[in-house]
Chain A
Amino acid sequence: MKDLSIYVEKCCGCRICELICAYQHFQQNNPKKAAIRVFPLFPNPAANVPVVCRHCAIPRCVEQCPEDALYKAQDGRVLLDAKKCTGCRVCLDACPFTAIYFHSDMLIPIICDLCDGDPVCVKWCPTKALRFTPLSVIGQERRVRTATAMAGEP
């Protein structure tokens, strides 16, 4: 399976991910209807932090959903069965990253579905802070940086 790989240090905070996510899922110009949100923290720490579902291996949201509306699909994604969901927000409290969003125009939560295997946020991220990679290489770029530092001066 592939999943989002987030390089916080590369995020510039432009929110293109939010906007294009809302276009993709709701055909609306409304970044508040996205399944991802960027927090521009300042000054301590000074960083832009995208918060989005990590499709956890052991998803607490799925465990605690009282309606069995959330489920872990075969391909590894955490998905929502809209017909079963009551909008009770138990999943929001269960998620360790609070990466589940709500909007007053909608009864059910907005949760990342990885755009059925071709996430638009990754496609248009201008600094490559978001990647879509197999789990075996998630975090690889940072790992390479660490390895380079460990190798020391040539």
Chain B
Amino acid sequence: MVRFKGGYVGKIARVNLTKKKVKTEKIEPSFAVKYIGGRGWGARLIWDEIPAHTDPLGPKNKLIIATGPLSGLLIPGAGKTSFAAISPATGYYGDSNVGGMFCTELKQAGFDALILEGKSDKPVYLWVEDGEVETRNAEDYWGTGSLDTENSLKKDLGDELIRVASIGQAGEKLVNFACVTCDYGRQAGRTGMGAVMGSKKIKAIAVRGSFDIPVADHKAMRKLFEESMRKTLKHPVLKIWQKQGTMQFIDWAHENACLPTRNFSSATYEGYRGINADIMEKNAKVADRACFACPICCGHFTIIKEGPHKGVGVEGPEYETASMFGSNCMLTTIEDVIYANYLCDNLGLDTISAGNIVAFAMECYEHGIITKEDLNGIELKFGNAQAMFDFLEIIAKREGIGNLFAEGVKKASEKLGKGSEKFAMQVKGLEISGYDVRAAQAMGLSYATADIGAHHNRSWAIGKDIEIGRESYDEEKVKTVIYLQHSRPLFDLLGTCRFQWLETEITLDTYAQFYMAATGIKTTVEDLLRASERVYNLTRAISICEGLTSKEDWLPERSFADPVPEGAVKGATLDKSKFKKMVKTYYKLRGWNEKGVPTPDKLEELALKDVAERLHGS
């Protein structure tokens, strides 16, 4: 019998929006430990509670907001919350992990997780405080932006330090790539979790908590923290991370020819100096911004200091936003990137998908597939910032042709036709994030096989491509992808950020020790990685039940057909048959059959016998 003495608070609040009823449920320790937390809990609850082929935007889908056992604790970077549901963008399992302070506050309010089910008839917000959850009228906030909602809520509730997760107009209008914003500047961006929240008519979740978060061994926790901090504070990369965060990679991606440019047609961007970290620091950065207990503080507040949008501020931009709007839509100034970032944050759009879609629409425009008349006068050429701003507004509000693009590039290109499918840069319906993969086979495989669709976070394997060769389809790359798909999402289970492991080299073993100090449960790195593999197979099983087939473990045609026009890997494309072989090797190494379905043996090995029975029929 497993018992935990801390880390977890031990309670979940189940909120039925249809009946406006809240039930507090105790967490079964064996469940807690087997799936660890965060997206692991989300996946298991989805598997158990949401029938296959549920409408992602219907009342039967559930939004599971889960912290991890390490969220909110004295651990560098312990600030992560996971949002999980069946995704409206892909129709498959979806999740998005967000930093900030929300997780700490939720646990201090007495809950590890919230299960949001049903659908309210009127707009509501949830008020969570010290063991209580209330649904409250949100008609006054409905129709306003995400940042505006957070501002108003804090004013109306009279406390600047409550923590808020909110949606903007895009979430209300069920845009497929609507995000949830936490703490003004941190977004659960991917897979349309904002639309799921909007479908339930939840405008925001406001939290305030004052409880202690239980910890099994405070002394051990503090010792581990101090050791990790000593290492972090003298690490050579700390300064650059604090100064520039992920923005430092714009220059790197340009030099290595993997910076998405002109809707992924080019991999280098001549104008990169206009949108990079140096110009951001010089022209716009006003302060650092960290998530909870994070010494790396990769975030920053920036403010536009001149031009038509003078005075507009945002937390950001970070690499993905700057690449997807900057190079991919060919913006020329950091101010325009910041304004696009602000618009998306306030309207409630995922900047990655939004940047990808605007670039797609710009290419459609330049090919004459959509016209100025279709766009109500907007001249949607690459580099036209004002056109982009106008276009983002009509997408978020689903006005005119914006309604079509609000469905995401996959569905939009299917409806538009005329060859636009070829440059719809998506996998499984999720828009590709900020790396060109034509000379990055491992990264390509990461996108093709990521469980939520094309997302870099599951496995940032491009480092391996650069390390062992930009033309190699070696099995070593496949192994790296699988390892990363377990090790990186492990942090989304634990509720901490992965940068402290990746960048300032706190070891995985230290996290196993942190987990032990927090919960009192003896754990090894192998146990943790096995749990992460378990979750990866479970999310795969969920998506297969929703209709996913191996056909979708693939990349857009452009990755194979259009050579990189210039830069370090000029002329490169992926080779279809070699890439196909890579996918097959991937299945084999994972213990999946040739159709990409986890075998009964694999599932049993991962203690998922019941999943095997439903998946394969008993």
Contact = CB atoms under 8 A, between A and B. Distances in A.
Interface of A: 9-16, 19-20, 23, 27-33, 37, 39-44, 46-48, 103-105, 124, 126-127
A30 B211 contact: yes
B287 A47 contact: yes
Interface in B290-343: 290-297, 301, 303, 311-315
Given A14-B292, A42-B185, A126-B295, A20 B210 contact: no
B550 to A, nearest CB: 43
Which secondary structure characterizes the binding site on chain B? loop
Contacts of B589: none
Given A42-B184, A46-B286, A32 B313 contact: no
Given A23-B74, A30-B212, A104-B210, 4 more contacts: A29-B218, A30-B211, A43-B184, A48-B287
Contact of B297 (A9, A124, A126): A126
A9 B285 CA distance: 11
Contacts of A44: 311, 313
15 contacts: A12-B288, A13-B297, A14-B290, A14-B292, A28-B218, A29-B72, A29-B215, A32-B108, A32-B210, A37-B161, A43-B313, A104-B210, A105-B212, A124-B226, A127-B297
A126 B218 contact: no
A147 to B, nearest CB: 22
B261 to A, nearest CB: 30
Given A12-B289, A48-B288, A40 B229 contact: no
B101 interface: yes
A44 B301 CA distance: 11
B184 A15 contact: no
Contacts of B212: 28-30, 33, 105
Contacts of B290: 12-15, 126
Nearest to A20: B74
Contacts of B184: 42-43
Nearest 5 Cβ contacts at the A-B interface: A126-B295, A14-B290, A12-B288, A12-B297, A46-B301
Contacts of B211: 30
Nearest to B222: A23
A117 B147 CA distance: 41
B213 interface: yes
- Among A20, A23, A29, A31, find the residue whose CB has the most chain B CB atoms closer than 10 A: A29
Interface string B155-187: 000001100000000000000000000011100
Nearest to A37: B161
A129 B292 CA distance: 16
Nearest to B298: A12
Contacts of A46: 286-287, 301, 303, 313
A29 to B, nearest CB: 5
Contacts of A16: 293, 295
A28 B109 CA distance: 15
B537 interface: no
Given A14-B292, A30-B108, A31-B104, A41 B72 contact: no
Nearest to A16: B293
A46 B147 CA distance: 14
Contact of A43 (B74, B160, B209, B303): B303
B232 interface: yes
A39 B289 CA distance: 11
Nearest to B104: A31
Nearest to B219: A27
B293 to A, nearest CB: 5
A13 B289 contact: yes
A19 B293 contact: yes
B233 interface: yes
A126 B287 contact: no
Contacts of B238: 126
A30 B213 contact: yes
B73 interface: yes
A27 B73 CA distance: 12
Contacts of A127: 242, 288, 297
Given A19-B74, A30-B213, A14 B291 contact: yes
A14 B294 contact: yes
B293 A15 contact: yes
Contacts of B222: 23
Contacts of A30: 108, 210-213
Which of B160, B290, B291 gathers the greatest number of chain A CB atoms within 10 Å? B290
A22 B242 CA distance: 25
A42 B288 CA distance: 12
B295 A23 contact: no
Most buried by B among A11, A13, A14: A14
A12 B313 contact: no
Contacts of A104: 210
Interface string B481-513: 000000000000000000000000000000000
A126 B293 CA distance: 10
A46 B288 CA distance: 10
Interface string B457-474: 000000000000000000
A126 B301 contact: no
A126 B232 contact: yes
B549 to A, nearest CB: 44
Nearest to B314: A43
Given A32-B210, A48-B289, A104-B210, A27 B218 contact: yes
Nearest to A27: B218
Which has the most chain B C-beta neighbours within 10 Å: A10, A41, A46? A46
A12 B242 contact: yes
A14 B161 contact: no
Most buried by A among B286, B296, B301: B301
